[in-house]
Amino acid sequence: MTDWELGKVRLGADGPVVGRQGFGAMAINTGYYGPTDEAAARATLEQALAVGITLFDTADAYGDGANEQFLAPFLAAHRDEVVIATKFGLADRARGIVNDPASIRAAADASLRRLGVDHIDLYYMHRRDVNVPIEETVATMAELVQAGKVRYLGLSEVTADELRLAYAVHPIAAVQSEWSLFSRDIETQVAPAAAELGTALVPYSPLGRGVLTGAVPSADHLESDDVRRSMPRFSEGNDTANHDLLAPLRAIAAARGATLAQIALAWLHAQERVFGLPVVPIPGTRSSARVVENARGALITLTDEELAQLDPLADSVAGNRYADMRFTSAGRE
Domains of the chain: 8-209+268-296 (3.20.20.100)
Q: Give the CA distances from residue 78 to residues 53, 89, 274, in Å, rounded to whole numbers and listed in that order.
A: 12, 27, 34
Mean pLDDT of the chain, nearest integer: 93
- pTM for this model (two decimals): 0.94
pLDDT above 70: residue 326: no
- How many other CB atoms are found less than 10 A from the CB of residue 64? 12
141 Cα distance to chain centroid: 20
- How many other CB atoms are found less than 10 A from the CB of residue 316? 11
Q: What burial letters (b/e) apply to 250-284, b meaning 16+ CB within 10 Å?
A: eebbeeeebbbbbbbbbbbbbbbeebebbbbbbbb
Provide the pLDDT for residue 216. 77
Read off the pLDDT of each residue in 287-316 and give the average, rounded to a whole number. Answer: 96
Read off the pLDDT of each residue in 249-276 and give the average, rounded to a whole number. Answer: 98
Q: Name the pairing type of β-strands 55-57 and 23-24.
A: parallel
Q: What burial letters (b/e) apply to 206-234, b meaning 16+ CB within 10 Å?
A: bbbbbbbbbebeebeebeeebbbeebebb
Q: What is the pLDDT of residues 170-226, one digit of tens each?
A: 999 999 999 999 999 999 999 999 999 999 999 999 999 888 998 877 667 777 777
- How many other CB atoms are found less than 10 A from the CB of residue 326? 12
Q: Which residues, including other chains, have CB under 8 Å from residue 61's CB and lie 6 or more apart?
A: 87, 89, 90, 91, 126
Provide the pLDDT for residue 134. 98
Q: What's 104-159 look like in SS3?
A: HHHHHHHHHHHHCCCCEEEEEECCCCCCCCHHHHHHHHHHHHHCCCEEEEEEECCC
- Alpha helices, H only, the chain: 38-50, 66-78, 101-115, 134-146, 160-169, 190-197, 238-243, 247-256, 260-275, 288-296, 304-310
Q: pLDDT category, 324, cuts 50, 70, 90?
A: low
Indicate the residue type of 61. Answer: A
DSSP one-letter code for 86: E
Read off the pLDDT of each residue in 267-295 and give the average, rounded to a whole number. Answer: 97
Q: Where are the beta strands (DSSP E) in 6-61?
A: 8-10, 17-19, 23-24, 55-57
Q: Name the pairing type of β-strands 150-156 and 55-57.
A: unpaired
Q: Which residues are catalytic?
A: 62
Tally the C-alpha atoms within 13 A of residue 155's C-alpha that lie toward its C-beta: 30
Indicate the residue type of 149. Answer: K
Q: What is the pLDDT of residues 212-235, one digit of tens each?
A: 998 877 667 777 777 777 677 877
Q: pLDDT category, 1, cuts 50, 70, 90?
A: low
Select the more confidently predicted residue: 318 or 209: 209
- How many other CB atoms are found less than 10 A from the CB of residue 105? 17
Q: Residues 321-324: contacts with CB within 8 Å, 24+ apart? A: 321/178, 321/182, 321/183, 321/205, 321/231, 321/232, 321/233, 322/231, 322/232, 323/230, 323/231, 323/232
Q: Which residues, including other chains, have CB under 8 Å from residue 66's CB and lie 6 or more apart?
A: 29, 30
How many percent of the chain have pLDDT more than 70? Answer: 95
